[in-house]
Chains A and B, each alone.
Chain A
Amino acid sequence: MWITMGPQHPMTHGLWTLRVKVDGETVVDTEAELGYIHRGVEKIAEARDFTQVTPYCDRLCYVSAMTWANSYIYAAEDLLEVDVPERAEYIRLISAEIQRLASHLMWLGAFGPDIGNLTLMTWCMRDREMFLDLLQELGGSRMHYNYPRIGGVKRDLPVGFADRARAKVKLFEQRIKEYEMMLDESTIWLVRLQGVGYSRAEDMVNSGVSGPNVRAAGVNYDVRWAHPYSVYDQVDWEPAVEKPTSVKGADCYDRYRVRMEEMVQSCKMVLDALDKIPGGANTHYSTGDEMILTKAPTRAPEGATGFSNYECTRGASQFYIQGGGDGRGKNPYRLSIRSPMFITIPYVAKTMIGYKVADIPAIMGSFDPCIGETDR
């Protein structure tokens, strides 16, 4: 019997269809259908200035807008050959890591109801709100910030931001322990996640899966650590890599653990970066000050290319820009986006085979799908 889960289904976390062939409760075959919300961001970008593309990149994934905008910005800076002030890099790191916390909380809050634990949803939304408030102070809105600029950031950290961020991050470090008390010590949580959704490291690497999902299988590949961009080599942190207990690879529990540990690392990074930021976290430079923004050229010559490899919250996101488009090089000639989830979702659909129908949300949720970036 084929069951069509989606496009409107609680399991999908977005807008896509998973067609499942079941034999009783056992999944025999799956098929993923993507493309429901293709917006053509790559094509739209060809008719926009380099600065005008940033808001579109925000909307690639509303759960982690800041990291996607940053990812584009690094490619544009590579293309336009801009040197970014170190303070701006620190601010970008802080904002990206706060966004990673908010994104992982959104994942956990959606993952809990997948397994049947609705309390997790309310708790995660409560804590995510703290970080959205912080990001709102930077960008002015809760979801789509349009905060990074080519050559720096839009604004400096607001007055008092550092104290609020430290207080909230420290509070959250305590609350992670609360989550673990509720989840890791519950046998039901363990039996639903352990031994479910095995995916081997080599299969995932061959398929192109990246980010927390491969780190859960023991692959120590984090773009922030392997190819440090920004100032990730200056702050104190370690990539969260889970050591899977089975030769079959990582199960849902490993993927859950690796994201929890990544949240701890992000907290550590935010606190450390706030201490190390050049110029001090409590000073406020006015908008456009050379401490936070370098003047960038608006045109790129034909033949020039820019590339960024960025650790987004769901994996390695890559941007490739070619200069020399319309308006004598004002627009990109071609923008290409590599989304980690576009590669992961079809892979995940195949790993479900052999498990039960009840495991589908657990497996799919543990890979943290985001359809906005998948369909672009």
Chain B
Amino acid sequence: MDDKYDLRSLFLGEDSLVHDLVTSGLEGTPLEDSSSNIAFGLGTFAVVNIVFLLLFFSQFAILWIERKAVARMNDRRGATTALRSLWVGENGVTGGEWWNMLPFGLGRPVGAVNKWLNKKFGNRSEEFETVDRVNNRSWMGLSILPGFFQNVADGMKFLIKEHMVPRRADKLIFEVSPFLIVSTTLIILGMIPLSSGMYATNPDLSILYIIAIFGIAPIGVFFAGWASNNKYTLIGGIRSAAQLTAYEIPLLLTLLAVAMLSGTFNIIDSIHFQHTAGAWNLFLMPLGAALFLITMIAEVERVPFDMPEAEAELVEGWWTEYGGMRFGMLFMAEYIRTYAACFLFTHFFLGGWHLPFQGTIGQIPYLGDAYLLIPGALVVLIKAWLVFLIVFVWARFSLARIRTDQILEFGWRMLLPLAVLQVVLAALYRLYLFDVEGMSDTVAGGSAWEAFGIPFFIPALTTILWLSIFFLLLNDTGKNEREERMYHVQTVQPAGTHTPGQD
């Protein structure tokens, strides 16, 4: 079902304000004949910019979620930076005075406001237990988005840093690879719809397109690793290339399963499918959702699959030689890729802009109408943030990093067969369990997954089946009682056969 808020028709429709203004403005001029083309161009420009800015700036939310909010919870109110760190540093010393670095004294008003804030609210409440080490960074006792603007300050710090190219580096490739990575990352945002009426572009094969774009950045990573003339970056770049195939193929197969189930290679159509058929893909292919998340974490190089930038042994992996704003851009690109992965999970498995129980609640008079008034873009954003919070951040904060040979083994021996299984399952579901008659694009949605007269029979059964399998695997207590350890290193000279002192 389409979202109520249709940004594209607002700017691009035949009776839109842009169209009216342009046609009336160009009336009588030589450009009159092409006025509708000009209106289309202007409208597209506006829509693309609005969507891009929405996506780009909402990305600060995930930066905040991971680097401030959860880190703070993780530390249990320990020493983390927070919102007030922008104006109150340790014991009243202001944090960096970044406003004085702006040109032409543009930051003076900020400095004045900061001075006032310091005077008014600095170092007040001492009720928190950590207050003797780190000042209580709450504002009037409230902690609202603590640390949100820290990222802005960090970005400014990157901007004023020097850019250095290592000696004997391959200068051209060294300079090109960040742009390769960052530009392909930004292109991903162009494909991501915020709702049915709020997207920059919508090609027919957008799923394929997105995966193709996702696959370009690892080439840039390999370039960067090679061009830096550094052994750590070299190993990091080669690791990135080595693990590429291990997760890309399962990822492609999982998306193939999604495309087969929804019968389209278009993201927006696949979201429509989830509503018209009656159930989100998450409940029809939980295995596919899990595979998608695992492979996506590997794709965006986050813990536990961040071997290319393993900071313990490779210093900072393939980023090691990048400094200044190039590091900042690579850092931002990593987060944008993560954010795009959250969006894709939302769209493929969580019904995109559709609200939970939209069909059921939407039918209730008045309340349903109010429920449907919630903007689809907001729903998508909140779902993406929740996916980031619940999956990506949680994994990062609770898991360790696995080894390159282990991800290869994991990818080829486990993910790939499971992905093939998911493709087969998707084909079976589509061919034998799917009821085309049940599709309907009304508020109520369809009931194409009904069986034996029970609505939602197939999604419910699938979910229960996979959840029980998951719990069985989770409670495998025999894991610790096994005599031999689970994994062993396989090398030419087997590990452990070496005797110190004899070599």
Mark A residues whose CB is within 8 Å of B: 1, 3, 5, 9-11, 22, 25-26, 29, 112-119, 122, 125-126, 182, 184, 186-192, 194-196, 198, 203, 206-207, 245-246, 248-249, 251, 253, 347, 350-351, 353-361
Contacts and interface: CB of A to CB of B under 8 A. Distances in A.
Contacts of B479: 187
Contacts of B491: 26, 354-356
A358 B75 contact: no
B400 A361 contact: no
Contacts of B424: none
A356 B405 contact: yes
A357 B501 CA distance: 21
B398 A191 contact: no
Contacts of A3: 231-232, 235
Contacts of A355: 489, 491, 495
Interface in B185-211: none
Contacts of A347: 500
Interface residues of B, number: 51
Contacts of A194: 485-487
B498 A186 contact: no
B303 interface: yes
A126 B71 CA distance: 13
A351 B500 contact: yes
Contacts of A126: 75-76, 78
B277 interface: no
Given A190-B486, A350-B500, A356-B405, 10 more contacts: A25-B405, A26-B492, A182-B398, A188-B400, A195-B486, A198-B496, A245-B484, A354-B494, A355-B495, A361-B312
Interface in B400-439: 400-406
Nearest to A22: B235
Interface string B472-489: 000000011001111111
B315 A9 contact: yes
A353 B503 CA distance: 10
B29 interface: no
A116 B306 contact: yes
B303 to A, nearest CB: 6
A10 B316 CA distance: 10
Contacts of B235: 3, 22, 25, 357
A125 B489 CA distance: 32
Nearest to B306: A116
B78 to A, nearest CB: 6
B285 interface: no
B403 A358 contact: yes
B350 interface: no
B492 to A, nearest CB: 7
B311 A10 contact: yes
Contacts of A115: 312, 400-401
A337 to B, nearest CB: 23
Contacts of B494: 354
Nearest to A251: B485
What 3 pairs across the A-B complex have the smallest Cβ distances?
A116-B401, A198-B496, A248-B496
Contacts of B406: 191
B405 A116 contact: no
Interface of B is mostly: loop
A192 B402 contact: yes
B236 to A, nearest CB: 11
Interface in B215-246: 231-232, 235, 239
Contacts of B499: 203
Given A122-B74, A354-B491, A359-B403, A116 B500 contact: no
Contact of A354 (B76, B397, B402, B489): B489
B27 to A, nearest CB: 63
A358 B493 contact: no
B313 interface: yes
A182 B313 CA distance: 23
Interface in B12-71: 71
A296 B406 CA distance: 60
B333 interface: no
Given A115-B312, A119-B74, A188 B399 contact: yes
Given A122-B74, A126-B78, A188-B304, A116 B492 contact: no
A47 B486 CA distance: 56
Given A113-B311, A355-B489, A357-B313, A186 B400 contact: yes
B501 to A, nearest CB: 7
B128 to A, nearest CB: 14
A191 B313 contact: no
B496 A354 contact: yes
A116 B312 contact: yes
A31 B470 CA distance: 46
A245 B483 contact: yes
A114 B74 contact: no
Given A25-B235, A188-B399, A195-B487, A207 B501 contact: yes
Nearest to B500: A350
Contacts of B500: 203, 207, 347, 350-351
25 contacts: A5-B313, A10-B311, A10-B312, A10-B315, A11-B312, A25-B404, A26-B491, A113-B312, A116-B304, A116-B306, A116-B310, A116-B399, A126-B76, A126-B78, A191-B403, A194-B485, A194-B486, A195-B487, A203-B499, A207-B501, A248-B496, A355-B491, A357-B235, A359-B403, A361-B312
Contacts of B503: 29, 350, 353
B489 A11 contact: no
Interface in B291-318: 303-304, 306-307, 310-315
A192 B400 CA distance: 8
A249 B399 contact: no
Contacts of B401: 115-117, 188, 192, 358
B481 to A, nearest CB: 11
B78 A353 contact: no
A11 B313 contact: yes
Nearest to B303: A116
A252 to B, nearest CB: 11
B497 A114 contact: no
B389 to A, nearest CB: 15
A354 B498 contact: yes
B78 A196 contact: no
A26 B492 CA distance: 9
Contacts of B239: 25
B487 to A, nearest CB: 5
A1, A114, A119, A206: which has the most chain B beta carbons within 10 Å?
A119
Contacts of B71: 122
A353 B400 contact: no
A144 B373 CA distance: 64
Contacts of B231: 1, 3
Nearest to B77: A126
A253 B487 CA distance: 12
B399 A117 contact: yes
A356 B485 contact: no
